[in-house]
């Protein structure tokens, strides 16, 4: 379908959007009394209106039942997190038993590295992408030093080729094969937070496993955004936050995938706590740890219910819609946004460089040549909530649940006005 940069055309796309009703399922901030254009679902998703009901249920149970809420509420707290496993398995391409929800993302990655980063004098290196998200960088460095290795030696960063904005899969695989028997772990962000590039997770997982390494994925910007097949790919583990495309609220609980081949084992290295021991004997307070047969064996403490409840509310919508429908709209709305950007670029004779490749999710990272931070500030003051990354990049993430094609058109007009007014 040939696109048009007109309000009429954008509205026609919305009229034919099967997900259009879900826009009304979310609360939008307002600027000067007008609903914003929200482009930061890759940092914090909007609040679903149904979230309050789920949280209020917990608050009422706490008020009326107190400790008995663990067993006698409508959704008993002691197994509340189990309700998330099946819908999450569909989102990330896993079996239900391979999924658990606990803690927060970097905490979970540290805990998973206890199990899956087991360096020896010969096999101790970690492959990650260059300039991984800072929290991942700090995690890698601290884990390597904890095991007595030098990060400058043990951490191998896959770099982009000179003059290019994306990583090439063949370069990642070549580096895996080059390191070979020295490689202990491949752990990469499935979608790069800065550029929005989606890595070929299937091919990279296969390559890592072929040289005897463990392979894990940080899916912070991938879960609820792109198609994932964690079980079929054979990844050892993965973790993701829930507050970006999954709309569970700031800092809320993290999801975890652990491949079934690692489940039900007593001898796997793992930091353990009482919520990972078998449910049937958990309250007998036995001195021996008897791991759950599923990914819940990695749970340490009882679930933070007030954090998990909003996640369950959001997953209810993912169940209703399904990932395929979200992916189909995401592809169309991001393509339309890209078209609008190119049209505005022609009209104002500016220079926008979209550094996000075709292998992308719900994000376009735009390098503003000749424009500076003031243009970003202008957008924010005029109701476009977007994201700034140094040195000169804005990240635009039109989440398919609640962004409209009309939003894309209006954003283009606001952007054009800002440039023509000489904001710099």
**Secondary structure letter of residue 190 according to DSSP:** S
Low-confidence stretches of the chain (pLDDT < 70) are: 350, 370, 423-424
Say if CB 217 and CB 188 are below 8 A apart: yes
Q: What is the pLDDT of residue 349?
A: 75
Q: What is the pLDDT of residue 391?
A: 83
From 133, 137, 109, select the one nearest 239 (Cα to Cα): 109
- pLDDT, tens only, 116-138: 999 999 999 999 999 889 999 99
Q: What is the pLDDT of residue 295?
A: 98
Say if CB 73 and CB 61 are below 8 A apart: yes
**Between the CA of residue 272 and those of 137, 194, 277, what are the distances in Å?**
25, 34, 8
- pLDDT, tens only, 344-387: 988 887 678 999 999 999 999 999 876 778 889 999 999 999 99
User: pTM for this structure?
Assistant: 0.96
Taken in order of first residue, the domains within the chain and their CATH numbers are 7-35+324-420 (3.90.1150.10), 52-321 (3.40.640.10)
Q: What is the pLDDT of residue 358?
A: 93
Structure tokens at 184: 């202990």
308: left (phi over 0), alpha (psi -120 to 50) or beta: alpha
From 263, 241, 236, select the one nearest 252 (Cα to Cα): 241
Q: What is the pLDDT of residue 424?
A: 58
Q: Length of the chain, please?
A: 424
**Between the CA of residue 204 and those of 101, 235, 359, 363, what are the distances in Å?**
25, 10, 15, 22
């Amino acid at each position: 379908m040939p696109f048009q940069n007109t309000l009429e055309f954008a509205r026609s796309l919305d009229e034919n959007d099967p997900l259009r009703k879900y826009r009304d399922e979310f609360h939008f901030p307002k600027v000067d009394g007008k609903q914003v254009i929200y482009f930061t679902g890759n940092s914090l998703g909007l609040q679903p209106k149904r979230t309050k009901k789920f949280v209020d249920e917990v608050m009422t149970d706490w008020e009326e039942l107190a400790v008995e809420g663990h067993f006698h509420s409508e959704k008993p707290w002691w197994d509340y997190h189990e309700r998330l496993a099946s819908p999450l398995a569909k989102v990330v391409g896993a079996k239900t038993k391979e999924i658990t929800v606990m803690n927060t993302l970097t905490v979970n990655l540290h805990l998973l590295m206890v199990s899956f980063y087991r360096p020896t004098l010969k096999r101790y290196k970690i492959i990650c992408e260059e300039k991984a998200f800072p929290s991942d960088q700090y995690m890698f460095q601290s884990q390597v030093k904890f095991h007595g290795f030098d990060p400058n030696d043990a951490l191998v960063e896959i770099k982009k080729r000179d003059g290019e904005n994306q990583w090439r899969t063949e370069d990642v695989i070549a580096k895996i094969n080059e390191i070979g028997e020295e490689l202990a772990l491949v752990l990469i962000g499935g979608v790069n937070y800065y550029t929005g590039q989606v890595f070929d997770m299937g091919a990279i997982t296969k390559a890592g496993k072929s040289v005897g390494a463990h392979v894990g994925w940080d899916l912070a910007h991938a879960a609820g955004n792109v198609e994932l097949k964690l079980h079929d790919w054979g990844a050892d583990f993965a973790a993701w936050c829930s507050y970006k495309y999954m709309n569970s609220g700031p800092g809320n609980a993290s999801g975890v995938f652990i491949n079934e081949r690692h489940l039900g084992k007593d001898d796997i290295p793992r930091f353990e706590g009482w919520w990972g021991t078998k449910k049937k004997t958990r309250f007998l307070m036995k001195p021996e740890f008897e791991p759950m047969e599923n990914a819940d064996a990695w749970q340490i403490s009882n679930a933070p219910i007030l954090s998990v409840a909003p996640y369950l509310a959001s997953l209810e919508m993912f169940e209703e819609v399904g990932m395929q429908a979200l992916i189909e709209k995401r592809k169309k709305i991001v393509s339309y946004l890209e078209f609008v950007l190119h049209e505005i670029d022609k009209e104002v004779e500016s220079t926008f460089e979209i550094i996000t490749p075709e292998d992308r999710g719900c994000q376009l990272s735009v390098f503003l040549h000749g424009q500076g931070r003031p243009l970003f500030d202008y957008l924010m003051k005029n109701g476009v909530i977007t994201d700034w990354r140094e040195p000169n990049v804005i990240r635009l993430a039109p989440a398919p649940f609640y962004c409209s094609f009309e939003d894309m058109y209006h954003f283009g007009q606001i952007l054009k006005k800002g440039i023509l007014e000489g904001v710099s």
